[in-house]
Structure 1
Amino acid sequence: MRAKPTAVALDIDGTLIDHDEGMSPAVLDAVRRTAAQVPVILATGRAWSTTRPVAERLGLPAGGFVVCSNGARTMRFPDGDVVDERTFDPSTVITSVRKYAPNARMAVEESDGTYLVTAPFPDGDLGRDARIRVVGDDELAPQPVTRLIIRDPDQSESDFVHLAERLGLHGVSYFVGWTAWLDIAPEGVDKSTGLKVALAQYDLEPSGLLAIGDGRNDIEMLTYAGLGIAMGSAPDEVKSAADEVTKSVQDDGVATILNRWF
């Protein structure tokens, strides 16, 4: 992409902020300058309740959009109006998880941003300010949900890659995270799904979109965008899917890219 991007999509965790929720002044300044010139769309696996504070921290203009829950929800910022929502029935997956990973913890998001969990997640996993309510498996998903999160702190990332294979996931999309974390989404839904909705609101084409991310759940977003940038700490398969690799979040990779045009 030689021309100035017409819109920018940014992942949050591992891209804008580090594992301690820290964001460097350089990145903050670069994003604010960018948002003053073109739409900046946060595209994240987070729920709206933990995405909105990041958008506020960045000072994103009112009337913009954020893509939450790995593309299952596209929301208007800052009022939280749902522009688009995709759901599925996770009951079959929940049953399979209990068969193949009996000690795993599961969570789903309610419409108000509360997480229903089968057991508490490690501190910070669902966001520092996330609201949670512990329920039994049978109460976890009485109605369709935007995503199902599976987590087992005693397992490894590779264990969860194998778990996804054993579960035989059909009719859903899934993303294995950095740790023993598995996101189950409606079939065909990923971050690019929400970005299509958001770009349509602006009457913009994906060819002008610059996207930056670091996780496996960013692959579709990076290939959808006119220019997809992987963070330096991204897994190899994410780097392979990107057009370019920038520095890590600790080295202000996002600022390095945005400073080219903004």
Structure 2
Amino acid sequence: MTWRPRMVALDVDGTLLETGKAVRPAVRTAVGDVLASGAHLVLASARSDVEILPVIDDLGLVDGHAVCCNGALTVRYPSRIVVEITRFDARDALRNILRSAPAAQVAVDEIGFGYDVTAYFPADELPAPQRLRALDAMTEQPAHHVIVRDPTVADLASVVTRQDFRQVSVSVSEEGWLDLVSRSVSKASALANLARAFDVDAADCLAIGNGHNDVEMLAWAGRGVAMAQSPPAVLHAADAVTGSIDDDGVAAELRRWFAPTVARRPRQVARPASTAGPSHHREAPGRPARP
């Protein structure tokens, strides 16, 4: 029997689209073919639930799931009901980072709103509502996603490598930009939970990505595919390499498995049920969860 993915996980920035730009027509069409086949399509991104909405709209997705914040938050759209969230105590990690980068800006993700920030981020870098707050107030309760930005530090990543973070996983998204989530989560862990709810084996999943935060996801999936412009560590983790984003690499890979359809009607099935009403909370060790 010819293998075809039953679940497709797609990174967003650098994979589906260039940051700040629309999804290219060939990619949009190929995504429609996935949905028309009945396979599950899941977006997997560092973006927040607010930031990922324009991508969902651009693709014409009407019902499904998105893994946000590098796996710390999974939501169902269009309702944005929280399926799973993992929070952590960010105070020690931030204290250590800010000791080496005292001018850094901090943003704490607030579900359904945007970000609380210590200083406004450039709108093109953080395209979501922002609200000024003191750092102590922002971190008084556990967070699920924290961003640290300091473009004046030549190598902010080196600051992280000198630290010992016990509860925190730190991803370097770009120069001068760090994403912090609980050490217990990744895109791969969130996708694995969704796959179980869909009754889909990892071996039947296709994942495509381009960043360091995609490495676990590419290794977890039955077929992990890296974009051609990916850094060496990502290329090494992948089973295969597709074209670059400029060459519509996502579309090329999806066309290998999903035949073009004339009429496309996006649909998602087998919605995973929450185990605690509308929102299932799986808290990392630390302080009590936010009410």
Shared topology, TM-score over 0.5?
yes
CA distance in 1, matches of 2:20, 2:114: 22
Q: Find the partner of 1:209 among 201, 205, 208.
A: 205
CA distance in 1, matches of 2:2, 2:124: 39
Q: Find the partner of 2:182 among 161, 179, 186.
A: 186
Structure 1 stretch displaced more, 3-12 or 105-114: 105-114
Offset of 1:93 from its aligned partner?
Answer: 1.3
Q: Which runs of 5+ in 2 are unaligned?
A: 259-291
Offset of 1:160 from its aligned partner?
Answer: 2.1
Asked if 1:235 is matched to 2:231, the reply is yes
Question: So what's the TM-score if we normalise by structure 1?
Answer: 0.94
Name the counterpart of 1:221: 217
1:257 counterpart letter in structure 2: E
CA distance in 1, matches of 2:150, 2:190: 28
Q: Over alpha carbons, which structure has the higher Rg? A: 2
Name the counterpart of 1:134: 132
How big is each residue's C-alpha offset from its partner over 1:167-195, in whole Å with a ceiling of 9 and x where there is no partner? Answer: 32222111111222111111221101211
Offset of 1:230 from its aligned partner?
Answer: 0.7
Partner SS, residue 126 of structure 1: coil
Q: Is the 8 A contact 2:73 2:144 kept in 1?
A: yes
Q: Is the 8 A contact 2:101 2:153 kept in 1?
A: no
CA distance in 2, matches of 1:213, 1:141: 31
Q: Is the 8 A contact 1:35 1:61 kept in 2?
A: no
CA distance in 2, matches of 1:223, 1:24: 27
Offset of 1:19 from its aligned partner?
Answer: 2.7
Q: Is the 8 A contact 2:225 2:240 kept in 1?
A: yes
CA distance in 1, matches of 2:26, 2:110: 35
CA distance in 2, matches of 1:248, 1:152: 28
2:214 counterpart letter in structure 1: D
Q: State the identity %.
A: 40
Name the counterpart of 2:7: 7
Name the counterpart of 1:16: 16
Hey, which of these two has a bigger chunk of helix by percent?
1
2:152 counterpart letter in structure 1: D
CA distance in 1, matches of 2:234, 2:225: 9
2:235 counterpart letter in structure 1: K
CA distance in 2, matches of 1:145, 1:171: 12
Offset of 1:102 from its aligned partner?
Answer: 0.5
Asked if 1:75 is matched to 2:71, the reply is no
Higher relative contact order at CA 8 Å, sep ≥6: structure 1 or structure 2? 2
Question: So what's the TM-score if we normalise by structure 2?
Answer: 0.85
Name the counterpart of 1:51: 52
CA distance in 1, matches of 2:203, 2:221: 6
Change (3 A) 1:113 1:199: farther
Q: Is the 8 A contact 1:69 1:147 kept in 2?
A: yes
